[in-house]
Amino acid sequence: MSALVSEDPMTHSLNRRGMEQEYARETSRAIRTGAPLCVAMLDIDNFKKLNDTHGHLVGDEALIHLVKTAKEELRATDVIGRMGGEEFMILLPNTETNDAVMVVTRLQRALTRKIFFGEKNLGESEKILITFSAGVARYENGESQESIMDRADKALYEAKHTGKNKVCLAAPGSQNPAAASA
């Protein structure tokens, strides 16, 4: 029953509540061990256009495709959760900032290799390239989930505004993200 309350029923990733529990667990571990922890916020590029062009069922399938690809590509210790709409959060425990950027960039590349066909709701000849923009922030001791998500979100929007399909890095304690190579 607990899993049902903390899981997004459509994508089978964690939901916001599940991510709050994982965040508390991972920040506690990071404080206890001194290990780094990074958070990535990602948002599917041009999702409204995808929904408007192909319908919400195809949009739902795209979200499922993203999570499936993430679960295949992310490390066993990484956790993905749907925070709402087409926005997802990934917890990257025991991960330095540069490594977190590399993990998220690797996920971007895997997603572009795994062309989305919209199996149930598109014609067989229709293929859609799904990309996402992301922001990465490193946990600072005692930082709330809201604060780190805000920093990662600002970096995500920097990625969106500077070309999409990019990963941007939030500077420590800064509200001004610096672009990272994708």
How far, CA to CA in Å, does 150 sit from each of 101, 113, 116, 144, 177? 17, 30, 30, 10, 11
Residue type, 76: A
CB atoms within 10 A of CB 98: 13
Helical (H) or strand (E) element with 177: strand 177-180
In angstroms, the CA 23 to CA 103 distance is: 18
CA-based nearest residue to 117, from 127, 125, 107: 127
Identify the active-site residue in 73, 86, 143, 158: 86
In angstroms, the CA 14 to CA 82 distance is: 6
Confirm whether 86 is a catalytic residue. yes
Q: Catalytic residue positions?
A: 86
